[in-house]
């Protein structure tokens, strides 16, 4: 249901408290008191059938008897009564309910049945549910504390969303102590209805929220979560703590990939793909909360460290190097000259800037001023330890005023105990983040700099592969269907390689041989030396069963090897079906053995793994995880995350591998996984990568029947090829129309540069001389679940002549539409062609309303939309809004 009715829940005009009480210590009393003390100015209706008044307010026997309308109900009664209350709320037009009561699925099947009943009632009634088993909600815009947390945070722009009620109370206590303001505090509880994806969407569209903190124990709808996070993280930071990193309970896997692609590694990759910053501890989350609420985001990693003690400076430097991969930048000659004029001759003359133990508060101030003004620094950390001659409060008072003028992150670490407590209070009140240790200060900075890097990564345009790649989807489907129809799950090596070959992944030639004589004949025809490998649908790892023989140079060796392989396999598994061997040429090319594989995760769908291959792959553990769909840029990043990538670029006597071909293999594998939800596990080990290309020397594929149809099994929707078409416009122009791709970035820039200033203003509503990287990324790297953009290429041209898009509004069945036609191609029917295709997509997505803004000078567009029944209304700025019902 998206963000439907969340606005009425989080900024309500009226609240009913079902289970309001006057009993001391009860949740019903706490919630009612908190709503009244928090400053909520709307109507409050205690619901208690046994009392006429509760805490001085008129009480009502039920929600239906309270004056209507009621926007929000807070339900505190035992959970067994909640289904009936929710049903009643629906009849009264209540937008949503916060169910604080526990006793749901966490108690067993009886509680789970209660939750199912609540959800059924809510869906029928159209009531949104937060909880059950939650602390409640605090909304600063509404001055609403609908929770049993007694402290109301001061208003701010930071939102905190947590599954753990205890974490909510701890963060709020910290916020009060460190003077951090919040826009929202939302306790999610069991997430029966409203989940993280819904809340991210809501807060992403809330102008009063500048950043979002998440404490996550589990995710219910992974695709919605990733989709919402990808959209929102482009415009505001999302910092996340996901607990549950252990691998306990992991299932045994049939492949190296299944064993190596652990659950937490998949979460890590999903969060990176969505642009989130994942922190490791609650302390990190607190520290990020302080820094992000008080300081601008860092634009670079270059930190100046100002200290009066060498030890803390070294601590900060070590943490920066170990966890940030960078050394502190050295001050420029100009900065050194300024510092020389302030400091005694024995200062460090390097960064950390050690100004010595007897530095006065004024010296601290002057040095900090130099660092704030220095162009080589992106942040300043000021460290100090207690000095007998100068109270730490003197330094804090002087510095707090200076640090507030910086336009980049500035923060402090005042080491010590009671002597520095007052200094920390000075910084808290001045809005300057301060930390107990240098390591915590540096780590908070690194997390926020990671967000900046994430944004640059999201804005990077992938390059196209040197040629168009094609696949034999029909042949692959026939092969997989045949295996499943035979009741098998494991494809033989020859079948596995054939599947890869159908998707253009290079494999060596191979021939099946059921007898030693057939093997010898195949080897003679193929040419020596050869490799023999066991062919059995029941034995997963051939090498474990002694089923592989290499470098066989004559007929006798081949026949002896055949006999040995059969005997070994029989001893390994007497019940296994043995169909013989495959005979393959012994590959002599020198290269690097890699592993490339995939497994189907129950939450995230197919997961791709790449790393160092060979029989020791699991022990070495050099691997990186990726999620389809992959493009060339994502494939390149996947490779670069591994240690083996350094060897692939060339090492000593090993020539550089063909990395373009390796990227192409990854893209091809990604498409195979996109097309076939039946693939459960897949191993290519080893994949030989060398200067001549890549070759899958061994392969294993496991499949299973599924009711899923592509792309239902993916957590990120892939490129929708079904919208590709070749068309003839009403103006007689032959064109190729397709959805936009990230690789279209250069063509989009060329289109923008070809537009007249008038066309640019009509499309973007402002004067733009160039297309900024963030704007380009938003227009080309889209989430196909949330929007659709179509581009039109004139026949045999690589230039975009027109582009149009619909962007769905979260929580409602509506979308905004916009189109741009290059000046040179206007009047050729491209606008109408795009318009019709976008309307068809809107109908397919069951959108009830599509609207767009049209300049009064754009007479052709006004005329066209009128022809299709659009309702036009003039806006205050003189433009027209066009509204259609697809």
Cα separation, 776 vs 848, in Å, equals 29
Q: What is the pLDDT of residue 587?
A: 83
Strands 725-728 and 734-739: antiparallel
Positive or negative torsion for Cα 161, 162, 165, 166:
negative
Positive or negative torsion for Cα 104, 105, 108, 114:
positive
User: What integer best gives the mean pLDDT of the chain?
Assistant: 90
Strands 136-139 and 144-147: antiparallel
Burial class (CB in 10 A: 0-12, 13-18, 19+), 848: exposed
Q: Is the pLDDT of residue 772 over 90?
A: no
- Cβ contacts of 206-211, under 8 Å, gap ≥ 24: 206/159, 208/140, 208/141, 208/157, 208/183, 209/157, 209/158, 209/159, 209/183, 209/184, 209/236, 210/157, 210/158, 210/236, 211/157, 211/158, 211/159, 211/236, 211/237, 211/238, 211/239, 211/292, 211/293
Confidence of residue 520 (pLDDT cuts 50, 70, 90): very high
Domain end call among 690, 715, 740: 715
- How many CB atoms lie under 10 A from the CB of residue 623? 26
Strands (E), 104-181: 128-130, 136-139, 144-147, 155-162
Q: What is the pLDDT of residue 248?
A: 44
Residue 608 makes CB contacts below 8 A (sequence gap 6+) with 596, 597, 598, 625, 626, 627, 628, 630, 638, 666, 669, 670, 673
Q: With residue 844 as reference, give the H or E element that holds it.
A: helix 830-844
Token reading at 664: 């192409």
| 289 inside domain | no
Strands (E), 679-742: 679-690, 693-696, 699-703, 725-728, 734-739
- Domain check: are 171 and 311 in the same one? no
Cα separation, 220 vs 225, in Å, equals 8
| 846 inside domain | yes
Q: Are 388 and 379 in contact (CB under 8 A)?
A: no
Say what the pTM is: 0.86
CATH number of residue 520's parent domain: 3.30.1490.20
Structural domain boundaries, residue 605: 462-503+591-715
DSSP assignment of 434-481 equals EESSHHHHHHHHHHHHHHHHHHHHHHPPPPPPSS-----HHHHHHHHH
Cα separation, 299 vs 309, in Å, equals 28
- Domain check: are 490 and 515 in the same one? no
What would the pLDDT profile of 47-59 be if each residue is shown by its tens digit?
999 999 999 999 9
Q: Are 179 and 289 in contact (CB under 8 A)?
A: no
Backbone angles phi and psi of 712, in degrees to 5:
-60, -30
Cα separation, 821 vs 414, in Å, equals 59
Largest CA distance in the chain: 100
Burial class (CB in 10 A: 0-12, 13-18, 19+), 163: buried
Q: Are 181 and 68 in contact (CB under 8 A)?
A: no
Domain end call among 100, 133, 166: 133
Q: Are 85 and 49 in contact (CB under 8 A)?
A: no
| 141 inside domain | no
Cα separation, 416 vs 413, in Å, equals 9
Q: Are 1 and 128 in contact (CB under 8 A)?
A: yes
| 529 inside domain | yes
Q: Is the pLDDT of residue 174 over 80?
A: no
- Domain check: are 495 and 430 in the same one? no
Residue 4 makes CB contacts below 8 A (sequence gap 6+) with 128, 811, 812
Q: Are 305 and 351 in contact (CB under 8 A)?
A: yes
CATH number of residue 772's parent domain: 3.40.630.30
Kindly state the average pLDDT of the residues 235-253. Answer: 69
Kindly state the average pLDDT of the residues 840-856. Answer: 90
Positive or negative torsion for Cα 441, 188, 785, 802:
negative
Cα separation, 149 vs 173, in Å, equals 10
What would the pLDDT profile of 73-92 be if each residue is shown by its tens digit?
999 999 999 999 999 999 99
- Domain check: are 268 and 417 in the same one? no
Q: Are 714 and 605 in contact (CB under 8 A)?
A: yes
Kindly state the average pLDDT of the residues 694-705. Answer: 94
Residue 190 makes CB contacts below 8 A (sequence gap 6+) with 104, 105, 106, 115, 131, 132, 133, 134
| 285 inside domain | no
| 286 inside domain | no
Q: With residue 847 as reference, give the H or E element that holds it.
A: none
Positive or negative torsion for Cα 535, 539, 544, 546:
negative
Q: Is the pLDDT of residue 178 over 80?
A: no
| Structural domain total, the chain | 6
Q: Is the pLDDT of residue 811 over 80?
A: no
Angle at 90 between CA 140 and CA 207, to 5 degrees: 25
Cα separation, 112 vs 793, in Å, equals 54
Helix then strand count (H, E) for the chain reads: 29, 38
Q: What is the pLDDT of residue 253?
A: 44
Token reading at 153: 């945070």
The pLDDT > 70 percentage for the chain reads 97
CATH number of residue 170's parent domain: 3.40.50.261
- Domain check: are 581 and 597 in the same one? no
Q: Is the pLDDT of residue 246 over 70?
A: no
Residue 107 makes CB contacts below 8 A (sequence gap 6+) with none
What would the pLDDT profile of 727-760 be if each residue is shown by its tens digit?
999 999 999 999 999 999 999 999 999 888 888 8
Domain end call among 533, 565, 586: 586
- Domain check: are 163 and 194 in the same one? yes
Angle at 848 between CA 842 and CA 851, to 5 degrees: 75
- Domain check: are 752 and 857 in the same one? yes
| 270 inside domain | yes
User: Given strand 410-414, what is the order of strands in its sheet?
Assistant: 353-354, 303-307, 379-384, 410-414, 434-435
Rg (CA), the chain: 32
SS3 73: strand
SS3 content of the chain, % helix, strand, coil (to 5): 40, 20, 40
What would the pLDDT profile of 127-162 be if each residue is shown by its tens digit?
999 999 999 999 999 999 999 988 888 899 999 999
CATH number of residue 110's parent domain: 3.40.50.720
Q: What is the pLDDT of residue 389?
A: 74
- Domain check: are 668 and 761 in the same one? no
- Domain check: are 606 and 496 in the same one? yes
DSSP symbol at 651: B
Q: What is the pLDDT of residue 855?
A: 83
Q: With residue 116 as reference, give the H or E element that holds it.
A: helix 109-125
- Domain check: are 489 and 514 in the same one? no
Cα separation, 755 vs 210, in Å, equals 34
What would the pLDDT profile of 456-501 be if each residue is shown by its tens digit?
888 888 888 888 888 999 999 999 999 999 999 999 888 999 999 9
- Domain check: are 107 and 157 in the same one? no
- Domain check: are 738 and 862 in the same one? yes
| 680 inside domain | yes
| Residues 511-546: b if buried by 16+ CB within 10 A, e if exposed | bbbeebebbbbbbeebeebbbbbbbbbebbbbeebe
Cα separation, 742 vs 462, in Å, equals 6
């Amino acid at each position: 249901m998206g963000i439907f009715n969340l606005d009425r829940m989080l900024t309500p005009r009226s609240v009913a408290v079902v289970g309001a009480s006057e009993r001391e210590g009860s949740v019903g009393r706490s919630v009612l008191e908190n709503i009244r003390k928090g400053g909520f100015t709307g109507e409050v209706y205690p619901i208690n059938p046994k009392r006429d008044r509760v805490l001085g307010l008129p009480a009502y026997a039920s929600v239906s008897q309270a004056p209507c309308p009621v926007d929000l109900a807070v339900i505190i009664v035992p959970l067994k009564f909640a289904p009936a209350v929710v049903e009643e709320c629906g009849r009264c037009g209540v937008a949503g309910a916060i169910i604080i009561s526990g006793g749901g699925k966490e108690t067993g099947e009886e509680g789970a049945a209660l939750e199912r009943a609540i959800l059924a009632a809510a869906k029928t009634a159209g009531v949104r549910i937060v909880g059950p088993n939650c602390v409640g909600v605090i909304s600063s815009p509404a001055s609403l504390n609908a929770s049993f947390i007694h402290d109301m945070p001061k208003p701010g722009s930071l939102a905190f969303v947590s599954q753990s009620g205890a974490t909510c109370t701890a963060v709020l206590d910290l916020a009060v102590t460190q003077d951090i303001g919040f826009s929202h505090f939302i306790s999610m509880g069991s997430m029966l209805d409203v989940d993280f994806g819904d809340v991210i969407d809501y807060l992403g569209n809330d102008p009063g929220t500048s950043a979002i903190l998440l404490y996550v124990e589990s995710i219910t709808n992974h695709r919605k979560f990733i989709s919402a996070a990808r959209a929102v993280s482009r415009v505001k930071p999302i910092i996340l703590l996901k607990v549950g990193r252990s691998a306990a309970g992991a299932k045994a896997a049939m492949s190296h990939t299944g064993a190596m692609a652990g659950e937490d590694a998949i979460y890590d990759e999903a969060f990176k793909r969505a642009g989130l910053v994942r922190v490791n501890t609650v302390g990190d989350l607190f520290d990020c909360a302080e820094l992000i609420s008080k300081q601008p985001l860092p634009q670079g990693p270059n930190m100046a460290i100002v200290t009066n003690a060498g030890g803390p400076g070294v601590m900060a430097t070590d943490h920066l190097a170990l966890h940030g991969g960078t050394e502190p930048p050295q001050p420029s000659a100009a900065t050194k000259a300024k510092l020389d004029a302030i400091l005694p001759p024995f200062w460090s003359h390097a960064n950390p800037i050690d100004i010595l133990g007897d530095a006065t508060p004024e010296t601290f101030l002057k040095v900090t001023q130099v660092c704030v003004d220095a162009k080589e620094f992106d942040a300043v950390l000021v460290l100090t330890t207690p000095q007998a001659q100068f109270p730490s409060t003197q330094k804090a008072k002087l510095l707090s005023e200076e640090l507030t003028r910086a336009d980049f992150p500035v923060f402090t670490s005042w080491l010590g105990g009671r002597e520095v407590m007052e200094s920390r209070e000075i910084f808290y009140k001045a809005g300057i983040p301060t930390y107990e240790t240098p390591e915590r200060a540096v780590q908070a900075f690194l997390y926020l700099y990671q967000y900046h890097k994430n944004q640059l990564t999201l804005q990077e345009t992938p390059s196209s592969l040197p040629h168009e790649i094609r696949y034999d989807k029909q042949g692959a489907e026939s092969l997989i269907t045949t295996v499943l129809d035979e009741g098998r799950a494991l494809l033989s090596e020859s079948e596995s390689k054939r599947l890869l070959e159908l998707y253009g992944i290079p494999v060596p030639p191979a021939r099946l041989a059921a007898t030693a004589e057939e093997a010898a004949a195949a080897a003679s025809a193929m040419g020596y030396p050869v490799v023999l490998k066991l062919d059995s649908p029941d034995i997963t790892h051939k090498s474990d069963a002694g089923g592989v023989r290499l470098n066989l140079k004559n007929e006798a060796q081949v026949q002896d090897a055949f006999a040995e392989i059969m005997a070994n396999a029989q001893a390994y598994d007497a019940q296994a079906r043995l169909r013989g061997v495959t005979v393959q040429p012994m590959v002599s090319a020198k290269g690097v053995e890699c592993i490339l594989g995939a497994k189907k995760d129950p939450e995230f769908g197919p997961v791709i793994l790449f790393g160092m291959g060979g029989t020791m792959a699991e022990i070495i553990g050099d691997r990186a995880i990726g999620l389809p769909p992959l493009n060339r840029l994502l494939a390149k990043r996947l490779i670069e995350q591994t240690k083996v990538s350094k060897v692939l670029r060339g090492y000593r006597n090993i020539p550089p591998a063909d990395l373009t071909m390796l990227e192409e293999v990854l893209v091809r594998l990604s498409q195979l996984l996109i097309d076939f939800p039946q693939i459960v596990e897949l191993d290519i080990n080893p994949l030989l990568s060398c200067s001549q290309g890549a070759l899958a020397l061994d392969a294993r594929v496991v499949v299973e029947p599924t009711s899923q149809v592509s792309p239902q099994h993916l957590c990120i929707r892939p490129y929708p090829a079904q919208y590709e078409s070749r068309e003839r416009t009403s103006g007689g122009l032959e064109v190729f129309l397709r959805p936009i791709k990230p690789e279209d970035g250069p063509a989009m820039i060329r289109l923008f540069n070809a537009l007249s200033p008038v066309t640019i203003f009509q499309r973007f509503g402002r004067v733009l001389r160039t297309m900024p990287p963030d704007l380009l990324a938003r227009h080309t790297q889209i989430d196909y679940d949330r929007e659709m953009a179509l581009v039109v290429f004139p026949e045999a041209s690589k230039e975009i002549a027109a582009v149009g898009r619909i962007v769905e509004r979260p929580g409602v069945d509506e979308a905004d539409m916009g189109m741009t036609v290059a000046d040179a191609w206007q009047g050729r029917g491209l606008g109408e062609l795009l318009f019709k295709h976008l309307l068809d997509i809107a109908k397919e997505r069951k959108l009830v309303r599509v609207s767009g803004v049209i300049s009064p000078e754009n007479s052709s567009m006004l005329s066209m939309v009128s022809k299709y029944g659009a309702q036009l209304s003039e806006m205050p700025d003189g433009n027209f809004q066009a509204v259609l019902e697809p």
